[in-house]
Chains A and B, each alone.
Chain A
Amino acid sequence: MDGNKLTRADVRKSWLNWFMFAQSNYNYERLQAVAFAHSMLPIMKKLYPQDKEEQKQGITRHMSFFNTEPICGSVIHGVTVAMEEERANGQPITDEAFNGIKTGLMGPLAGVGDTLTQGVITPIMLAICIGITNNNNIAGPIIFLLAQFVIMTGISYNMWFNGYKYGRKAVEEIMSGGKVNRVIEAASLLGTMVMGGLVGRFIPLQFYLNFELGGGAAFSLQHDLLDKLMPGLIPLVLTLVVLHYVRKGVSPIKMMGALILFGIITGCLGIF
């Protein structure tokens, strides 16, 4: 057994393999399996420089089904790298232990990661930068580009290196101490509120119905009733109805077809 230590450069090389090629061979059968093995390639070569058989076994154990959110899920790879290093230095860590850790963490981290990256950070950055662009300012898309690269790269790199540094403890601490729930709860609250802001801003649906009351007076459903009760009621109700069906499992494509049809009918009838 070789007693090799990893350098920071080895770990960084492994991170870069993942950070770039995580989704390259994304497939229905084992999702990110080949990408995981790809990221472990520099680690195995360094840990077992002479032992081809150990290298081969190492890569084989990381060719199993794997799927997580690539940015936040990096912490799993960090932990795996740390465990591989311990194993190469004499700790008896079995293949089952690796598999257990990886499959146990990938689900929760996919949930956390999708919430943070796709559910909160990206929509908020988009909303702000679309707002800037709509003021005829070309800086909008450019700010979006730079901000996303800084934020996402920062999270991914730190997740990976903290996972490596603190090993399994890091993840246990993050996932069990209520800390992650706290972050998710706060992020969800912020995200939901911004989604509300988006609905108000980007779903400008209004009732066009007017009722002639005689004597030249008219009653506008929108201006005389809804705007006084609760402006934004139509977008709110529309979003909640769509949410209801999406939760029930109606596919997004079908839902889109239904919305287009609903738009054609109400648009033609002059309701909206």
Chain B
Amino acid sequence: MEMTLLQAALIGLFYYLSWSPWLTYVGFFTFNRPLLAGLVTGIILGQPMEGALIGAGINVIYLGFISAGGAQMGDPSFAGYVGTALAIASNLDVGTAMAISVPLGTIATVLWIAKMTVNSFFVHWADREVEKGNLNMVAFINIVPPQILLFVMSFIPATLVVYYGPTAVNGMLSLLTPNILHVFNVIGAMLPALGIAMNLKLIGNSFTMPFFVLGILCSVYFQMDIIIISIIGIVIALTISAVNYRGDKGGNA
């Protein structure tokens, strides 16, 4: 389908908003995730359900996404908005959409690093203003300069890639044979392992890892839904916690 500049700009705007403070800090936990980014992009392009499905597919790669201490595996939001837009514009299936979104999200990390570097200068500006007694400038400096910077660094690249990207993607698509698509699907099936491993780095230990195996068995062997696995997990967690902390004998690894 043809995309208008206005549609591209709206998608770029939402990409900016997803990293901005205007949706409160919960924006990072909602509009920043490809699942919701897909729906928003789908609505802008007039195909909400397709957008949501593509966003859900892209989000699988970033399921266990953790941003802590600078080590992160890319920008899920860029992958979500731009990836969904390119997929809808070029009629890609979910697997191919996943494969093209990941490099996009990875390249976008550069924007993030640049932003955090430039933001350091504003701290010194705030120091000087406080020294002079202009306390209200702290609020101004915390909001206006970093947001102008963020807007320029997020809205413009996202809009341009969304607007001019489909031509490049269509050229690339003509090269795709079923074999190459199979390789894309294999890659798409492997990348969630990274997000999940990064998550396990945080919450996995010798005490919890056996339950990781149990979770795999529940889903593969017993074909359970995630919501059922979650409920079973809650039951086990509460039971173990109650047993461990009854009295003083809390003996776990």
Residue ranges of A at the interface with B (Cβ–Cβ < 8 Å)? 17, 19-30, 33-35, 37-38, 41, 44-45, 52, 55-56, 59-60, 63, 70-71, 110, 114-115, 117-120, 122-124, 126-131, 133-134, 136, 138, 140-142, 144-145, 148-149, 152-153, 156, 178, 182, 185-205, 230-232, 235-236, 238-239, 242-243, 246-247, 251-253, 255-256, 259-260, 262-264, 266-268, 272
Q: Is the CB of B120 within 8 A of A27?
A: yes
Q: Which residue of B lies closest to A74 (CB)?
A: B25
Q: Which residue of B lies closest to A264 (CB)?
A: B183
Which residues 96-122 of B have a CB within 8 angstroms of A? 102, 106, 109, 115-120, 122
Q: Is the CB of A190 within 8 A of B237?
A: yes
Measured in the bound complex, the distance between the Cα atoms of B35 and A70 in whole Å is 22
Measured in the bound complex, the distance between the Cα atoms of B226 and A115 in whole Å is 19
Q: A63-B130, A114-B202, A186-B237 are in contact. Are A23 and B218 (CB under 8 A)?
A: no
Q: Is the CB of B199 within 8 A of A19?
A: no
Collect the chain A residues with CB atoms within 8 Å of residue B106's CB.
253, 256
Judge whether B72 is part of the interface by a CB distance below 8 angstroms: yes
Query: How many residues in B have their beta carbons less than 8 Å from beta carbons of A?
Result: 113
* Bitwise interface map of B from 214 to 253 toward A, beta carbon under 8 Å scored 1, else 0: 1111111100111101101110111011001100001010
**Which of A29, A136, A236, A263 is B216 in contact with, Cβ under 8 Å?**
A236
Q: A59-B135, A141-B55, A178-B245 are in contact. Are A22 and B130 (CB under 8 A)?
A: no
Q: Which residue of B lies closest to A118 (CB)?
A: B66
Measured in the bound complex, the distance between the Cα atoms of B232 and A190 in whole Å is 9
Measured in the bound complex, the distance between the Cα atoms of B218 and A255 in whole Å is 28
Q: Is the CB of B191 within 8 A of A191?
A: no
A-B contact pairs, 11 of them (CB 8 A): A25-B119, A27-B119, A56-B135, A119-B199, A130-B60, A138-B48, A148-B29, A192-B215, A243-B201, A256-B191, A267-B187
Q: Which residue of A lies closest to B124 (CB)?
A: A29
**Which of B131, B190, B219, B226 is A238 in contact with, Cβ under 8 Å?**
B190
Judge whether B71 is part of the interface by a CB distance below 8 angstroms: yes
Q: A29-B120, A34-B142 are in contact. Are A186 and B241 (CB under 8 A)?
A: yes
CB distance from B10 to the nearest CB of A (A): 17
**Which of B56, B133, B218 is A130 in contact with, Cβ under 8 Å?**
B56
Q: Which residue of B lies closest to A33 (CB)?
A: B123
Measured in the bound complex, the distance between the Cα atoms of B213 and A118 in whole Å is 21
Q: Is the CB of B237 within 8 A of A130?
A: no
Measured in the bound complex, the distance between the Cα atoms of B72 and A19 in whole Å is 23
Q: Is the CB of A23 within 8 A of B209?
A: no
Q: Which residue of A lies closest to B67 (CB)?
A: A118
Measured in the bound complex, the distance between the Cα atoms of B203 and A118 in whole Å is 10
Collect the chain B residues with CB atoms within 8 Å of residue A145's CB.
30-31, 36
CB distance from B35 to the nearest CB of A (A): 5
CB distance from B42 to the nearest CB of A (A): 9
Measured in the bound complex, the distance between the Cα atoms of B192 and A236 in whole Å is 12
